[in-house]
Amino acid sequence: MNFDNIKSVYESTSKRTHYDWGLREYLLRVYQYMAFALALTAVISMGAASSPQFINLIHGTPLKWVIAFAPLGMAFYMGSRLMSMSVTAAQTCLMIFATLMGLSLSSIFILFTGESIARVFFITASTFGAMSIYGHTTKKDLTSMGSFLMMGAIGLLIASVLNIFMQSGAMQFIISVIGVLVFTLFTAYDSQRIKALYYQVHGNTEVTQKLAVYGSLTLYMDFINIFVFLLQLLGVRRDD
């Protein structure tokens, strides 16, 4: 997908003063897809966590590595193949991604208390909502943040993989703090970007529908990452 001219599109559309009902419908679709994907992830995660046998199968065998990295692989697949898919195929891939993520996150219901998970979820939702609104309404061009945030995300991934073997509490704390910061900023950046993408393909209904799925995927990932990193910082473990 070519995003090279997003900055120029943003500059040309940031001066629009009329209300665009097409944009409203597009953004509603983005957040509806995202909300459905989050709900599916929660249901799958809680359902898997309620079965000790299933938890042992997923997290007590080498299958845990497949489950851990499968969502990342699906995200890359969707990003690279989105424009060649049908709208239905893109929607299906989003639901598969949300299901895999639910399986991956099922262990949090074993590790953390339900009360702390709920508390962190509402903190995440508030933070995400505020930054998403900022991204949609600010007149500041956030395009320049993209490269910096992407490097931060790659650095977090590498550090997280290394810490699987190091098991350093101090390193995990630093990773979590930086992770919350990076993906909070990503929320504003992605919110502005999906709006700019709409104007880039304005008038092409099929492409707009696919971009709504893509936008929901990126915002979903921002939300999940903020939630997971905040849970590492604020969550109460059952064995404490």
Ramachandran quadrant class, 167 (left: phi over 0; alpha: psi -120 to 50; beta: rest): left
pTM above the 0.75 mark?
yes
What is residue 3's predicted lDDT score, i.e. its pLDDT? 46
Tell me which of 6-15, 24-33, 219-228 is least confident: 6-15
- Give 146-187 pLDDT, tens digit per residue: 889 999 999 998 999 898 888 888 999 999 999 999 999 999
> What DSSP letter does each residue of the chain carry, written as one string?
---TTHHHHHHHHTT--S--HHHHHHHHHHHHHHHHHHHHHHHHHHHHHT-HHHHHHHHSSTHHHHHHHHHHHHHHHHHHHGGGS-HHHHHHHHHHHHHHHHHHHTTHHHHB-HHHHHHHHHHHHHHHHHHHHHHHH--S--TTHHHHHHHHHHHHHHHHHHHHHH--HHHHHHHHHHHHHHHHHHHHHHHHHHHHHHHHSTT-HHHHHHHHHHHHHHHHHHHHHHHHHHHHHHPPBTT-
The residue type at 127: T
Q: Bigger pLDDT: 214 or 63?
A: 214
- Summarize pLDDT for 99-123 with one digit per residue, the tens: 999 998 988 988 899 999 999 999 9
pLDDT digits (tens, 9 = 90+) for 57-101: 777 777 777 887 788 888 888 888 888 889 999 999 999 999 999
Residue 53: beta bridge partners? none
